[in-house]
Amino acid sequence: MSQPDQDAQFGHEDVIEKTNFGMYEAAMEEGSGFHVFNVASDQYHRAEALQRTGAIDITCTLEKVIHGAMSADSDSYATLLVMQWFFQPTGSRRISEATIKLLFEASSTDGEVEVEKVSFPDTYSLMPTTQEESITKGGEATIGVEQIAQLSLTGKWEKTVSSTTSDAITLSGGKRLVNNIPPNRIAEWKISENESQPAGIPASLKIAVLVSRNDEEKFSCKLSFTCKTDLKTAAQSFFKKIPKDDPIIFQPDPEVKGTRPNKNVTYGDDELGSVDPNDLCDVTFRTVISNGQKTWK
């Protein structure tokens, strides 16, 4: 549900508000269009992970899933997944900050799923900018000279202080505990616009996460997406509440395909522990078509 976030007012003309899209109230007739359902209880590896449409379209697809083991001589099972996110605002709308959280849960009472690796595991900068700033302070000075009469000499003084500031789009990922209880079951990414030159966050973000498992049972992933938008976008949020999306259900058993199987799921890789998630990730601020002019005969 939308609420003002005073700390996010960077002095720009348009005010920033924090909007939780998990409880987003949309100015549309059919709020259910925002909720991604599983078509059946046995729909595994749902490809359409998340979708929000409107002034800002937000979509996420499950692009790749690999079930296997951490290593050939390991007793630990593993799953690698890759997600592709797209953020497409219209007109002057923009997202200034977004947070993605994936919560993994085992289906069995004694099952355990742990986040082992995530892409962008540190803080990264994208499209850095530098700008010069000068601040001039002034005043009036008076000098008295005692001779036959008092002579006043007045003049202006000015002091200029110059500084160079650097800023950039920032992206960071990490692993988190649930209620401070190990192991890490949350994978999280946060992306923020360049505050000096606010133009929104990148248009696309591909992320990857590797989880370990202690059995071959089903497990699930709950998605959470929150963001800060411009005030005009946040104001269109007073009609319908949107229920949370269904969790994505993962089935490591290759013999159990379920309803509407995802074609991008593979099985049997026993060296997943050696995979670097950064090799599978990507971030793009904007795609430019350099040769967009065509001549028709």
pLDDT score of 3 more than 60? no
- 75-101 per-position pLDDT tens digit: 889 999 999 999 988 777 888 889 999
Query: Which residues in the chain belong to E strands, given as ranges?
Result: 3-4, 16-20, 25-26, 48-52, 56-69, 77-89, 95-106, 113-118, 123-146, 150-178, 181-192, 204-213, 219-230, 240-241, 248-250, 265-269, 282-284
3-state secondary structure (DSSP) of residue 272? helix
Q: What is the mean pLDDT of the chain?
A: 80
Interval 54-62 mean pLDDT = 88
Residues contacting 220, CB < 8 A, separation 6+: 104, 105, 107, 247, 248, 249, 250
Phi-psi region of 121 (alpha: psi -120 to 50; beta: other; left: phi over 0): alpha
pLDDT confidence of residue 47: 95
β-strand partners of 191: 98, 171
What was the pLDDT predicted at 285?
87
The tokens describing 24, both together, are 């987003």
User: How confident is the model over 110-156, as pLDDT tens digits?
Assistant: 899 999 999 999 899 888 777 666 676 666 655 555 544 544 555 56
pLDDT of residue 165: 64
Only one residue has tokens 């005030």, namely 231
Q: Are 119 and 281 in contact (CB under 8 A)?
A: yes
Under the banding of pLDDT at 50, 70 and 90, the label for residue 199 is confident
CA atoms of 270 and 67, how far apart (whole Å): 9
Query: pLDDT category, 157, cuts 50, 70, 90?
Result: low
Q: Provide the pLDDT for residue 207.
A: 97
Instruction: Give yes or no for residue 7 having a pLDDT over 80.
Output: no
In the chain, where are the structural domains located?
Answer: 3-125+169-284
More confident residue, 179 or 10: 179
Q: Is the pLDDT of residue 176 over 90?
A: yes
What confidence tens digit (pLDDT) does each residue in 226-257 have? 888 777 666 655 334 455 789 999 999 999 99
